[in-house]
Structure 1
Amino acid sequence: KIWLDVATYPVSDKQKVPNNADGWQTLADWLERQGIGRVGIEASGGYERDVIAYLHQRGFEVVLLQPRQVRAFGLYKLRRAKNDQLGAALIAECAARSDARCHAPDSRLIAFGEWLLFIEQIEADIACLKTRRERFTDRRILEEIDRSIGELKSRCKAQLALLQAAVREHDDLARKLDLIESIDGIGIRTALTLVILMPELGRVDREEIAALT
């Protein structure tokens, strides 16, 4: 089970809840009782998306912090988090002093993100098979591996085409996709990744986008 460690600032009250629907409700109720309206959450590979969406629905202002931001703030404060609770306290103070905020998650991008992850996993399987292939000389085994690689490549290509078509059904995402793909050296695979995983494009300046990338 994945847990959320929570701390408040400037009064350091602590809470720990599971990262699921029951835990989010418990967290939101607790925050409301504390009179807290602004919440900072550190990005953690997608595990934060659902709780952010729930907190937005409950009317909280959410600040999404990148791990490097939290680390830099910790160095500035001459503090190094030694456990999850200390890390939560650092995130709370960082969010309180930050002027950034997180837009409500786009449900379309959440779904597309899962689809993109599936494609990435297929690509990882292909890379794994190519590495495995280097260990063999038997023609029968090599042919079997090559057949599996070919099947996965076909599946990956088909899924990528379907994902692109699904994204293009939305005019705003299609315009963004075309704009990114028009840049020299960027193909549709990279363009899709940027559109889906970086919703900040078009909202923040180029220095912030470069740092985020």
Structure 2
Amino acid sequence: MELGDVGIFTAALDRAAQEAMVAAVRQVVAEAPLFHPETARGRQMSVRMTSCGAWGWVSDRRGYRYERCHPATGRPWPAIPESVMDLWRRFAGAGARDPESCLVNFYGEGARMGLHQDRDEADFTQPVVSLSLGDDGLFRVGGSGPGGPTRSVWLKSGDVAVLAGPGRLARHGVDRIRFGSSGLLAQGGRLNLTLRVVS
């Protein structure tokens, strides 16, 4: 299905594949712990995040950007797990370069992500591939310009969203999660993996 210019692939991963993906993410988090990013105005975001790949996305009073190392540990980000790379190859489309970053966002109870564009990358011809794991998230999408109408859909565990072509710069966000709607994560919550080409 499509939500505006964004492709939505429901039930892209079965339960066994989701569990394997969560196990891979746990290994990433063991090396690169989740942290609360801050906006340039010093406001703490409600999501916790980390990254894997050559680049990780960070945000603090110096603004939004990609960095080579984890802001707390100072160590390079761990490699993107092969199962996550397989997801990219399946959904990114022919000719897409290998992703250089995978953001891992964790939404606990009450967490959300305001409407934004993924525009800190150098090449907007490359897609963004996003996987939902765990609790349902209300995903909202608008156009690439300011204002205008938006549409929403509940993303469930195993669903994939692809921002490519006209939808690459679509404004998007997560208004809320249905905490406890999935048994995938023992303590509840939602993981979102977002794969991007940075350079």
Q: TM-score, length-normalised on structure 1?
A: 0.22
Structure showing greater relative contact order (alpha-carbon pairs closer than 8 Å, 6 or more residues apart): 2
- Structure with the larger strand share: 2
The structure with the largest alpha-carbon Rg is 1
Q: TM-score, length-normalised on structure 2?
A: 0.23
- Structure with the larger helix share: 1
